[in-house]
Amino acid sequence: MTEPPRPPGAGDPGAYPPEPTSPPAPPAPAPSAEPPTAPLSGAPGPGGYPPAGGYPPPTGDQPPSGGYPPPGGYPAGGYPTGGAYGGPGGGFANNEDKTWALVAHFGGAAGMIISGGVLGWIGPLVALLARGNQSPTVRAHAVAALNFQLLWSIIGLVGWILACIVIGFIPVAAAIILGAVFGIIAGIKANEGSLYRYPLSVNMIK
């Protein structure tokens, strides 16, 4: 009896069925159209430093192109302080003017305290005679102090004359207190570079 025919390779011990083929590889992603992200803070950009077009122009708080000190140097004696009298912008032209202005005001206050309210005008008068002709600033301070202290020295003197009466001590006390307090206030203002307008004063000296 004959054997039915076998399929090709069925009886061949070295033959194996064909292996299935591997699936095709997926296509590569298309390049992105977005621009590259900015670099991290502190990292140089694509063009490096400095940036294209240079750095922005300096702002108003930058030092001048010539640096410090300014061209020509600083003015002699420094810049003047604020105030209504004296050199450009107010204040005093030099330390000597400032010293004599303080003598006028503080000297008037000290004179009222020491003399009992009758000699507050001595300090302003000394400042006026010593420096008033050389400096308009000192003259303005000395005249203001002298007018005030003269008025209250007269009131104090009248009070001492009437001291035998009960009310005589009141003008003396008022002259001492007001002459000292407002003289000190005027001295502080003069130290800041401004002229103090004394209250309760009359212009006896021009």
Measured between alpha carbons, how far is 21 from 7 in angstroms, rounded to an integer? Answer: 22
Structure tokens at 124: 């302003």
pLDDT of residue 171: 80
Q: Which of 22-36, 44-58, 66-80, 186-200 has the lowest mean pLDDT?
A: 66-80
Does the structure show a pLDDT above 50 at 158? yes
Q: What is the tens place of the pLDDT at every residue in 114-148?
A: 988 899 999 999 999 999 999 999 999 999 999 99
Rounded CA gap, 141 and 11, in Å? Answer: 136
3-state secondary structure 136-180: HHHHHHHHHHHHHHHHHHHHHHHHHHHHHCHHHHHHHHHHHHHHH
Which range, of 4-18, 76-90, 101-115, 139-153, averages the lowest pLDDT?
A: 76-90
Could you tell me the CA-to-CA distances from 121 to 99, 167, 194 in Å, in that order?
A: 17, 24, 20
Q: State both tokens at 175.
A: 């002259």
Selected residue with higher pLDDT from 198 and 73: 198
Between residues 160 and 125, which one has the greater pLDDT?
A: 125
21 contact partners, CB below 8 Å, separation of at least 6: none
- The mean of the pLDDT values for the chain is 74
Euclidean distance between the first and final Cα of the chain, in Å?
Answer: 162
Place of tokens 């008068």: 125
What is the pLDDT confidence band of residue 81, given thresholds at 50, 70 and 90? very low
For residues 110 and 120, give the distance between their C-alpha atoms in angstroms, rounded to a whole number: 7
Distance CA 55, CA 184 (A): 56
What's the pTM? Answer: 0.52
Instruction: Examine the pLDDT at 99 and tell me if it is beyond 70.
Output: yes
